[in-house]
Amino acid sequence: MVNSLDVESVKVIIFQLGDKEYAIPVSQVQGIEKTMHITRVPKTPKYVKGVINLRGVVTPIIDLRDRFNVKSSVEDENTRIIIITVDEMEVGFIVDAANDVMDIPKASIEPQPEVVGSYEEEFISGVAKVEKRLLILLNLEKVLNTLK
Amino acid sequence: MDTNQYLDVFLDESREHLQSCNENLLVLEQNPHDLAIVNEIFRNAHTLKGMSATMGFEDLADLTHKMENVLDAIRNEKITVNSDILDVVFESADHLEAMIDDIANGGDGKRDVSATVAKLKRIENGEPINGASDTASQETATTESTATADSLEYDEFELTVIEQSHDQGFNTYEIAVQLREDCLLKAARVYMVFDILEKLGDVIKSSPTVEQLEEEQFDNDFYVALVTKDPADDVQKKLLKVSEVEKVTVKPIDYESLVRHEVAVTVEETKPVQSAGEKAAQKDVKPAAKKSAAKKAPAKKVAHASSKTIRVNIERLDILMNLFEELVIDRGRLQSIATELNHSELNETVERMSRVSGDLQNIILTMRMVPVETVFNRFPKMVRQLTRDLHKKVNLEIIGAETELDRTVIDELGDPLVHLIRNALDHGVESPEVRKAAGKPEEGNVVLRAYHSGNHVFIEIEDDGAGINREKVLEKAISKGIVTTEAAESMTDNQVNELILASGFSTADVISDISGRGVGLDVVKSTIESLGGNITIESTEGKGSLFSVQLPLTLSIISVMLVEIEKEIYAIPLSSIIETSIIRNSDILNAHNQKVIDFRGKVVPLVFLEEIFEVNRTEPVEDEFHSVVLVRKGEKMAGLVVDSFIGQQEIVLKSLGNYLTNVFAISGATILGNGEVALIIDCNSLIK
């Protein structure tokens, strides 16, 4: 339980893809946007949905479902674009829903993601169990890097 | 005083003043009798001296002061200008530049300049420059000790004060105060002296400055100019009452000699506003070669006087630009909403807003524009130096220095142009002997020309030198393995000329340190291409060469043609479009699995953008007609097949970001009026 302030913790944004919950540190999140018109960019990997106009900045959008080889779902009113920055790159992720902001005690993070045995394994930096929820922590560098 | 925060400004301004000095010195060399120019240089030097003294760079201030003395003598026609004297002044300017660079790199700006100082001193005294060395050292010694000057100099304002005081019956004195060697509290004594002086009248000037005096930055004596009603004797007696004051000399200011200064000042003040006719008359008297210089000098001065500027960080302009772009997008939305609602007052307001923001856009764009002069102005001096080193005679003519270009382009332009000019001087213009033998005037001519044309700025470097020797270039290119012997045979002259831009190419027989390492011109080519421009060469052997650099006006805004494929909008830069046309199915021919059309007798390959860009068709389109955009890359052409044309538009260029790099055939993106992103097609990669 997170009842004492001296426990070291990370603040994360929690989002949903299918039935799983994922977490990204707040420090890497620039903002959460509703879906908007995406311009397709030809000759890019399938998971690159295209680019959007994010307040004057052209920002590439990645569909995490395609990235993780999860069956894609239909866009609905909960669909969000989470804008993140890694190494001065600004990229948006399409997710099913962005539900929560939470402090995860560092102690509750386990590095071995044995529970998840799928394609997305290589993008995971750890899992955290907080109040019966299982949160998957993403390694954003890896999510972005394999394009190169 | 903490001066660090002013250092950047100081460096910028010093460089500006020094640059201006250099330019004017060059003009002066052409018109040795034009005192207006001397005055201009003098003013630059004077400002520089003041600034460096304030910033505490004594050496810099000191050398400038010496230089100023010489200029003053020239101004007062005590000595006449000749190229030897100018050499020394140039030398001092070089020293000053080195000092400023040193300061910029965190140094203290100290430099051994005694030799130059000695020369300056000798000029000032009207002695031959290269006198015996022992007197030189002696003189250096004496100048050092009297660095504060044994009499005061006055600027215009102070002269006016003196003049008025005279008119109103006040006395003006120049007072030399000498403190005792063993004086301990010099600042305190200075304070007491000033206290007395201020009771007697007004102190209009002191040397060293009051600040320096208060910080005890002087030896034992200092000079003060005083305006008072009291007689000289009283002043002297009162000052001598301050303890530890060794000696006080009070002498009236020589008003007559100052008037002469003033005349010089007035003459120079009236010069720029001379009538055009007078100027023309003046020009006619001068030999043709000096015309441009004479014309330039007064015009320039007017500009100096009239333009008030502030320095703005370019980043702020970028931010302003970004904000404005968002405004433009919202304006577009507002316009479409207003059209929908069809409310007359709303329409009116939106229209007015559009007009205002249109004007705003122009201003923001022109704010980023800088005249190419800022790059060109360093060339005359460089050419002067190079021609001396190379023992050639070259006249550099600059045309269109006021042509404006985007700041980001200007910043990148300097180095390529330096290379091209060096190349023209080193490889282009021949030595005087060779020129004479070829029946040309000994003095070569290099023209640096800038002008606007459409959405582009052209910068040309033209010389009347040897031109490009086709055989020699091909021989070299083959030996370096750049082209094969077979290919060489069939190359056109233009293609051969382009070879000298290839990397690893250098035709100079003797490799000099000026150019000829074979790393120059290919770097020029790649830099210019990275700026979205290109470079072409025209050359006639024996007559000269013309290097023409074409650059986009600005990097941030380009003209494009918007086209549609299925529901996707793409932008094609106008700079690569030749024309658009509608073709019939029957016009399309097949050649080697490649669809081509016959375009005015030329076979042009067709590129179906929907195939290249893998556009998802909801249903196949069968159309008798096709819309084709004909684009070019150098000599080659291609026809891009699209669904329809939307129209021409000015767009703001945006990058796709750091994540999506190297996307095939896409050079960037832009934001359309409806807020959506459109991709910009890179025609160069579509043409093989």
Indicate if the pLDDT at residue B371 is higher than 50.
Answer: yes
State whether A91 and B329 contact (CB < 8 Å). Answer: no
Please tell me the number of Cα atoms within 13 Å of B576 on its side-chain side.
26
Q: Is residue B208 in some structural domain? A: yes
Q: Within its chain, how far is the Cα of B599 from the centroid?
A: 45
Let me know whether B523 and B565 are in one domain.
no
Classify burial at A92, counting beta carbons within 10 Å of its beta carbon; exposed 0-12, middle 13-18, buried 19 or more: buried
Could you tell me whether strands B577-584 and B594-599 are parallel, antiparallel, or unpaired per DSSP bridges?
Answer: unpaired
Instruction: Tell me what percent of chain A is helix, strand and coil, each rounded to the nearest 5.
Output: 15, 50, 35
Q: What is the CA radius of gyration of chain B?
A: 33
In the structure encoding, which two tokens stand for residue B42, read together?
């003098």
- Give dist(CA B312, CA B598) in Å, integer: 53
Shared domain for B54 and B136, answered yes or no, is yes
DSSP secondary-structure letter at B56? T
**Complete DSSP assignment for B183-225:** -S-HHHHHHHHHHHHHHHEEEEEEES-HHHHHTT-SSSEEEEE
Q: Hey, are the CB atoms on A58 and B655 less than 8 Å from each other?
A: yes
Is residue A26 less than 8 Å (CB to CB) from chain B? no
Q: How confident is the model at residue A60 (pLDDT cuts 50, 70, 90)?
A: very high
Whether residue A42 and residue B658 make contact (CB cut-off 8 A), yes or no, is no
Task: Mark whether B543 and B450 lie in a shared domain.
Answer: yes
Domain assignment present for residue B164? The answer is: yes
Residues 6+ apart with CB under 8 A from B265: B39, B156, B159
Distances from the Cα of A129 to the Cα of A116, A125, A132, B435, angstroms: 13, 14, 6, 87
- Residue B491 to residues B1, B481, B488, B498, Cα–Cα distance (Å): 68, 15, 5, 10
A144, closest residue in chain B (CA to CA): B659
Q: Is residue B562 part of a domain?
A: yes
Averaged pLDDT for residues A17-46: 89
Residue at B318: amino acid letter: D
Average pLDDT, rounded, for chain B: 77
Active site residue B68: yes
Same domain, B512 and B387: yes
Q: What are the residues facing A128 on neighbouring strands?
A: A109, A135
Asked if the C-beta of B654 comes within 8 angstroms of chain A's C-beta atoms, the answer is yes
Mutation site for B-interface testing, chosen from A36, A58, A61, A84 by largest number of B Cβ within 10 Å: A58
> Which range has the worst mean pLDDT, A25-39, A118-132, B253-267, B291-305?
B291-305
Domain ranges for chain A: 9-145
Decide if B331 touches A, using CB distance below 8 A. no
Question: CB distance B322–A147 less than 8 Å?
Answer: no
Angle among Cα B289, B290, B293 to the nearest 5 degrees reads 130
What is the CB neighbour count within 10 angstroms for residue B309? 5
Name which of A41, A48, A88 is nearest B666 (Cβ-Cβ). A41
Domain C-terminal end among B101, B121, B145: B145
- Token pair in block for residue B258: 């100052």
Residue pair B564/B478 in contact (Cβ under 8 Å)? The answer is no
User: First CA to last CA across chain B, in angstroms?
Assistant: 64
Whether pLDDT at B190 is above 90: no
Residue B662: predicted pLDDT: 76
For residue B435, the number of C-alpha atoms closer than 13 Å in the C-beta half-sphere is 21
Q: Are A144 and B659 in contact (CB under 8 A)?
A: yes
Q: Residue B667 has what pLDDT?
A: 82
Q: How many CB atoms lie within 10 A of CB B597?
A: 20
Cβ-Cβ contacts under 8 Å, A51 against chain B: 656-657, 660, 669, 677, 679
Q: Are strands B594-599 and B589-591 parallel, antiparallel or unpaired?
A: antiparallel
Check whether B494 has a pLDDT greater than 60: yes
pLDDT band of residue B559 (cuts 50, 70, 90) is: confident
Question: Is this prediction's pTM over 0.95?
Answer: no
Q: Identify any residues that bridge with A32 across adjacent strands, giving them in sequence order.
A: A82
B16 and B124 fall within a common domain: yes
Give the integer Cα–Cα distance in Å for A110 and A148: 29
Are B98 and B67 in the same domain?
yes
Please name the member of B612, B614, B656 whose beta carbon is closest to the beta carbon of A58: B656
Phi-psi category of residue B563: left, alpha or beta, with phi > 0 → left and psi -120 to 50 → alpha:
beta
What are the beta bridge partners of residue A54?
A57
Percent of chain B whose predicted confidence (pLDDT) is above 70: 83
And the tokens for B454?
């459409």
DSSP code at position B667: E
β-bridge mates for residue A103, sequence order: A11
**Interfacial B residues in 502-541 facing A (CB < 8 Å):** none
Higher per-residue confidence, B613 vs B685:
B613
Instruction: Give bridge partners of residue A12 from the DSSP assignment.
Output: A25, A102
The SS3 call for residue A48 is strand
**β B534-540/B557-565 pair status:** unpaired
Q: Which pLDDT score is estimated for B47? A: 81
Decide if pLDDT at A82 tops 90: yes
Please check the confidence at residue B83 and state whether its pLDDT lies above 80: no
- B115 and B161, same domain (yes or no): no
Contact A39 B666 (CB under 8 A): no
- pLDDT tens digits, residue range B134-174? 444 444 333 333 333 455 667 767 777 777 777 777 778 88
What is the rounded CA–CA span in Å between residue B115 and residue B94? 13
Taking an 8 Å cut-off on Cβ atoms, the answer to whether A53 and B613 are in contact is no
* Cα pseudo-dihedral B363, B655, B326, A77, rounded to 10: 170
Strand duo B677-681 + B568-573: pairing: parallel
pLDDT tens profile B560-577: 899 999 889 999 988 788
What is the CATH number for B123?
A: 1.20.120.160
Question: In the predicted model, is pLDDT for residue B557 greater than 70?
Answer: no
Is the pLDDT score of B670 beyond 70?
Answer: yes
B138 compared with B684, residue with greater pLDDT: B684
The answer, yes or no, to whether residue B640 has pLDDT greater than 60, is yes
Sign of the alpha-carbon dihedral angle for B374, B375, B380, B384 = positive
Say if residue B219 is in the same domain as residue B347.
no
Q: What is the pLDDT of residue B297?
A: 42
Last residue of a domain, one of B368, B388, B414: B368
* Residue of B17, B23, B44, B46 marked active site: B46
Looking at the fold, whether B505 and B417 belong to one and the same domain comes out as: yes
B390 and B515 both lie in a single domain: yes
Cis, bond preceding B208 (omega within 30 deg of 0): yes
Which of A42, A58, A144 has its CB closest to that of B613? A42
At residue B93, the 3 state secondary structure works out as helix
pLDDT tens by residue, B392-447: 888 889 998 888 888 878 888 888 888 888 888 888 888 888 888 888 888 888 99
B 614-633 residues with CB below 8 A of A? Answer: 614-615
CATH superfamily entry for domain A9-145 = CheA-289, Domain 4 (2.40.50.180)
Say whether both B525 and B382 belong to one domain.
yes
Residue after which a domain boundary falls, among B536, B552, B568: B552
Pick the residue with more confidence: B625 or B197?
B625
**Confidence check: pLDDT of B270 > 70:** no
**DSSP annotation string for B420-446:** HHHHIIIIISPPHHHHHHTTS-SSEEE
What residues of chain B lie within 8 A of the CB of A59, using their CB? 657
pLDDT band at B641 (very low <50, low <70, confident <90, very high): very high
Assign A139 a pLDDT band (cuts: 50, 70, 90).
confident
How far is Cα B661 from Cα B656, in angstroms, rounded to an integer? 7
Active site residue B423: yes
Tell me the CA end-to-end span of chain A in Å, nearest whole number.
41
Read off the pLDDT of residues A93-114 as tens digits, 9 standing for 90 and up.
999 888 889 888 888 888 755 5
Which burial class, exposed, middle or buried, applies to B523 when counting CB atoms under 10 A from its CB (0-12, 13-18, 19+)?
middle
In chain B, % of residues over pLDDT 90: 6
Residues B115 and B207 in one domain: no
CA distance B235 to B217: 24
Per-residue pLDDT tens digits for B497-550: 877 777 666 555 444 444 444 456 777 887 887 777 888 888 888 888 899 998
Whether the per-residue pLDDT at B81 is higher than 70: the answer is: yes
Do A39 and B677 count as a contact with CB atoms less than 8 A apart? yes
Query: pLDDT for A111-128, tens place per residue?
Result: 755 555 555 567 788 888
Structural domain boundaries enclosing B452: 373-552
Q: Which residues pair with B398 in a beta bridge?
A: B448
- Which tokens is B129 given? 């420059």
Convert the pLDDT of each residue in B412-427 to its tens digit: 888 888 888 888 888 8
What secondary structure letter does DSSP report for B654? B
- Give me the pLDDT at residue B497, please: 80
Chain A hits for B326, CB-CB cut-off 8 Å, are 55-56
CATH classification at residue B571? 2.40.50.180
Decide: residue B612, CB within 10 A, 0-12 exposed, 13-18 middle, 19+ buried: middle
- Residue B628 pLDDT > 90: yes
B655 close contact with A: CB closer than 8 A: yes
Q: What is the C-alpha to C-alpha distance for residues B105 and B98, in angstroms, rounded to an integer?
A: 10
Output phi, psi for B442, to 5 deg: -60, -35
What CATH number should be reported for the domain holding residue B204?
3.30.70.1110
Domain count for chain B, please give it.
Answer: 5
CA–CA distance, B386 with B192 (Å, rounded to integer):
56
Partners of residue B589 on adjacent β-strands: B596
